[in-house]
Structure 1
Amino acid sequence: MDSQRSILIIALAFVSFLLWQQWHKDYGPEPVVSQTQTEQLDSNGELQLSADEFGTQPVATTPGPDAGISRHEQLVTVETDVLQVKISTRGGDIVSLKLPQYELTKDSQTPYVMMRRQPGFDFIAESGLIGQHGPDDSRNADGRPLYHASELSFQLGDGQQELIVPLHYQHQGLEIEKRFIFRPGQYDVRVEYLLRNTSDEVRVVQNYQHLLQTIEGGRDSSFFMPIYRGAAYGTQSDRYKKYSFKDMQKSNLSIPTLGGWAAMLEHYFVAAWVPDQEADNQLYSRVNRGRGVIGALGPVVQLQPGQDALISTTFYAGPKIQDNLAELANGLDLTVDYGFLWFISQPLFWLLTLIQGFVVNWGVAIILITIVVKGVMYPLTKIQYESMAKMRNLKPKIEDLQARYKDDRQKLGPAMMELYRKEKVNPMGGCLPLLLQMPIFLALYWVFVESVELRHAPFMLWIQDLSAPDPWFILPVLFGASMFMMQKLTPMTVTDPMQRKLMMWMPVAFSVFFIWFPSGLVLYWLVSNLISLAQMLYIYRGMEKKGLHSRKA
């Protein structure tokens, strides 16, 4: 029994170390931008994307964020049922985006502000045309193109299936219409360039699109509720890869791929550029004046005189709804980051949503999925508790052997093994089931932490947000009480005073620890403990009837 407890503590410590290591990697402090990194900018502070870096046909450099912003800039306001967007006529960039279906805080009636341009912090989506004749060429005297908008306010009406927001510009014989296409209930926006070459010469352009975010600042994070605020991308060969601001500051990303995508994440929400999935694109990243940039460069387009062309890409900004993201690009749904146990978490999330579809309450769904999981794992639980009970029954015989061979440790080991063989007891039998259950425990942890569906989801009574800690600390206290009851049902056999005190105070420590955890996660653990208590009583009662278990042992 002592060895089982020791192994359990070691296993928990090891898992805690892995969680801490991953947390520090993803959410630790960002390094300061070095002088060599700032040298990526030219004298005007513009971000350089050269042809040599991308290995494409010769193209000009794209302008840096905010380059050429003038007092003539206007903002085009667009409203749909799920998006509130502001588009700058300077470059046609998305400089503000709110999500009216998601409150900033519970019952605040304030839309979640996802993208914004404000003093000291930027999070915007830029896109444009570079190349020999691209208007976003940094050699253009006007800087970024100043588009013309026929209207400054657009709204998706009831029953309207599509809203087109057009911007117009002419440059070196190119007629350019940059338009944004919105649809009801959709967080993805189609961004298209309709080009016409009215000159008598070939025109060469290349589209780019990237996300820019200030590295310092942003939303708060904590160890108990981690918020990964950084970049990620996907390629044909690597479906999902985090690329944090620390990674950006160390090296520039430059990856050719068929299709692909580039994104910025912040916990429950994601902003992403999804270029043409049938085209050869180039993913890139940069650091610009304390701001991280990640995006995609499309293929070079040549327009003959009188020729028309259509270049299109998709922009997504909204909640991490896995089904919607999976339809846009391969691997984009993995931004709902379940970690290395994603192959367990995804089926559990599917089951959770299936149950919720029937009960229409996420708290009840958590209780029911806990019952299902504990039911499926019951055979392992039975093996675990039976092994623990048998080991406890052997305690007098083990103590007798220890007293007999206290001065001969070489003989004690074989004698103990012979006792286990004779009594048909495996000293590790109670540990293996615990270790097998631990991946499911961790997988469910990430399901409850990462799923936007639980954000602000009410349960009952005082629990009105399953993604937030229990405001009255009732669930953590109940969890500690259930853990204490389990300890009483399984008396400690350790003799070391320090270990006994440690085990006695574990329920209190966990109760305090869980104060900062999401209430949905604490609800799961509480229900899991209650079911374990019921299973333990049932298993021990059956063993007592067979004469295999004694609670006084």
Structure 2
Amino acid sequence: MDDKRNIIMAVLLTGIILFGWPLFMEQFFPEMVNDNDAVEQVSDPAVNPASADGSAPAVSTVPGSASIATGAAIGQIRPLAAVLPESSRVTIDTPRLSGSVNLQGAKIDDLTLTDHRVALDKDSDPVRLFSPTGTKDAYFSRFGWAGNGVALPDDKTVWTADQNRLTPQTPVTLSWDNQTGQNFAITFSIDENYLITAEQSVTNRGEADIALNPFGLLSRVRDLENIPASEASSWTIHVGPMGVFEEAANFDTDYEDVQEAGANGIAGDATNGWIGFTDKYWLGALIPASKAQIDGKFRSGSGNLFQAQISRENAQIIAPGKVLTTTTRLFAGAKETALLDNYKEQYGITLLDRAIDWGWFYWFEKPLFYLLNWLFEMVGNFGVAIIIMTFIVRGIMFPIAQKQFASMAQMRAVQPKMKKIQEKHKDDKQKQQQEIMKLYKDEKVNPLAGCLPIFLQIPIFFALYKVLMLSIEMRHEPFTLWIKDLSAPDPLTPVNLFGLIPFDPPSFLAVGILPILMGITMHYQFKLNPQQMDPMQQQIFGLMPWILVFIMAPFAAGLQLYWTVSNLLTIAQQKWLYSRHPQLKEQMAKDAEEKAKKAAEEKADA
């Protein structure tokens, strides 16, 4: 009866896992749900307007505060090709960025990442990061001044440029005169990667003091009801408002929090920090270059408008004949680990590397990434690099595996004594457990030693998951044959005859070839293990590989590859260690013989 009950419980548990798993995945891992193709979901290069006429939102110009959204109606969305020519522009041309600066408002609102593509196809469009107001999902940066009693440039001001092309070798200065004694200038310079420097200066040629507060802002439209699953925030990956306030990274603020705060916003001390919006692979961030007291704030307006801004804590007094100069850096690009680390060290940008949400175990995940990336640079294929890294991990854990098998041998040696205790105290489970624990102590046997390698694998497995899911370096990286993107799930599944049937199965049924191989190798690995003395445990170990096949199917192919290779190495390792512990193999054969004999007797009795 106990065995039948255990089997029924195991079947019920399996059903709960198989049918409950999709709900769990949608709740906690939305980026992997229905992501069986290898295409990054990036919006059309267009932007949602913040106001009915396609202009930027109205602003408040109060000394000591920066431009804020004050509410706007949604206007008609127009194609990018129609919006870009409507204003004069300065071309941005670097090895990794292309686009333009809008002279109306001095806005950087047209940026594409030339070496990152929307899809796997090398002929697909480059990823667009910034897009101008008036198109879908508007996203741009603007620099200006807030203050009273002075005519100030705003989002409709048309600036004059001294160059028509912004390159790493040729900075561009935009200038505007308010005709009342103040001259404003913004000098943009750019490096060969993703860092833009904006130097704002205002010269007071008037006869009286003026009080101004320079600011920088990032403005974007984000429809929270229609964010693709691959771009959504989850408990493992933070996407959305991001900043370093008071020298601590803020992963707790989401778009919903900013929306609830409205125009009042969510503020923090951004001195020696930065503020912006992080996506899974991309980042827009404002970084103050000065050591002055800097306020950072997230605000929201109508029309799904969100802003991140920085400004001085107090307005600055500019005497007649004096110049106020403020420098702000803008990072706009891909979150490449080495590049973020380099900017962090070169410019002293606090925790810029944490724009990648490594989580609590970043101290372990980053070295693992650098090891994997170094192996990739050596062999030129991330799949091969993962295989080599698996060999390294298993090699490091080999001494622990030896102790595991020694522990198994000890457990088998005391098994006859355990059976006697179980028979003697079969009606007193508490006494039975006490005697067994005393036996472990007397024989110096640790029953948990065999589980140690599994527990040590967990942080490695989770770290590799984060590396595969977060690092832009892994995005769209192929392995071989049908595996074109190691950061996406295995796309081939027998459910639709490997693509021959035009049918996209639901995520929990889309079991690829790699997870099936993982299940087969794990099943064989468990078959090599000694039989468990508890029948229930043995049944669970028998079902576990096939349950894990479905659990692992939505994960990245690189993770499935790691686990499959790890299983193969474990099988080889077990065979070798059995040759070192022949008594363990003999006991396994004896257990199997006794089990077969018992099964035959039960069948005969039935």
Residue 493 of structure 1 pairs with residue 532 of structure 2: yes
1:304 CA displacement:
1.9
Q: Indicate conservation of the 8 Å contact 1:384/1:434, yes or no.
A: no
1:82 CA displacement:
0.8
- Give the secondary structure class of the aligned counterpart of 1:127: strand
Question: Which residues of 2 match residues 1-400 of structure 1 at below 5 A?
Answer: 24=28, 58-59=63-64, 62-64=67-69, 73-109=87-123, 110-117=125-132, 118-132=134-148, 144-150=155-161, 154=165, 156=167, 161-171=168-178, 172-183=180-191, 185-216=192-223, 217-221=226-230, 228-251=238-261, 252-289=265-302, 290-298=304-312, 300-326=315-341, 327-328=343-344, 329-392=349-412, 394-400=414-420
Q: Indicate conservation of the 8 Å contact 1:231/1:244, yes or no.
A: yes
1:267 CA displacement:
0.9
Calculate percent identity across the aligned residue pairs: 27
Alpha-carbon distance in structure 1 between the residues aligned to 2:232 and 2:294: 37
Q: Indicate conservation of the 8 Å contact 1:233/1:242, yes or no.
A: no
Which letter maps to 1:179?
A: T
Change (3 A) 1:458 1:269: same
Change (3 A) 1:259 1:155: closer
2:46 — aligned with what? none
Specify which structure has the bigger relative contact order, considering alpha-carbon pairs within 8 angstroms and separated by 6 or more residues.
2
1:234 CA displacement:
0.7
Q: Indicate conservation of the 8 Å contact 1:393/1:550, yes or no.
A: no
Q: Indicate conservation of the 8 Å contact 1:240/1:335, yes or no.
A: no
Alpha-carbon distance in structure 1 between the residues aligned to 2:419 and 2:364: 42
Change (3 A) 1:222 1:316: closer
Q: Indicate conservation of the 8 Å contact 1:390/1:548, yes or no.
A: no
Which letter maps to 1:169?
A: W
Q: Indicate conservation of the 8 Å contact 1:540/1:549, yes or no.
A: no
1:228 CA displacement:
4.0
1:308 CA displacement:
2.5
- Give the secondary structure class of the aligned counterpart of 1:243: coil
Alpha-carbon distance in structure 1 between the residues aligned to 2:277 and 2:233: 21
Residue 530 of structure 1 pairs with residue 546 of structure 2: no
- 1:478-499 deviation digits (Å, cap 9, x = unpaired): 21111111111115526556x6
Which letter maps to 1:220?
A: A
1:233 CA displacement:
0.5
Alpha-carbon distance in structure 2 between the residues aligned to 1:125 and 1:302: 25
Change (3 A) 1:346 1:240: farther
Alpha-carbon distance in structure 2 between the residues aligned to 1:285 and 1:467: 31
- Give the secondary structure class of the aligned counterpart of 1:121: coil
2:582 — aligned with what? 544
TM-score for the superposition, normalised by structure 2: 0.75
TM-score for the superposition, normalised by structure 1: 0.81
- Give the secondary structure class of the aligned counterpart of 1:527: helix
1:396 CA displacement:
4.5
- 1:63-116 deviation digits (Å, cap 9, x = unpaired): 538989999744443222211223322321222221010011112421011222
Alpha-carbon distance in structure 2 between the residues aligned to 1:424 and 1:539: 21
Residue 512 of structure 1 pairs with residue 545 of structure 2: no
Gaps of 5+ in 2: 1-9, 33-50, 76-82, 493-511, 592-606
- 1:32-65 deviation digits (Å, cap 9, x = unpaired): xxxxxxxxx9xx99577787xxxxxx43662538
Q: Indicate conservation of the 8 Å contact 1:320/1:336, yes or no.
A: yes
Alpha-carbon distance in structure 2 between the residues aligned to 1:74 and 1:313: 24
C-alpha RMSD of the superposition = 3.8
1:242 CA displacement:
4.4
Change (3 A) 1:391 1:135: farther
Residue range with higher mean Cα deviation, 343-352 or 403-412: 403-412
Residue range with higher mean Cα deviation, 186-195 or 123-132: 123-132
Alpha-carbon distance in structure 1 between the residues aligned to 2:514 and 2:232: 20
Question: Which residues of 2 match residues 400-479 of structure 1 at below 5 A?
Answer: 400-472=420-492, 473-479=512-518
Change (3 A) 1:227 1:434: closer
Gaps of 5+ in 1: 1-5, 29-40, 52-57, 138-142
1:238 CA displacement:
1.0
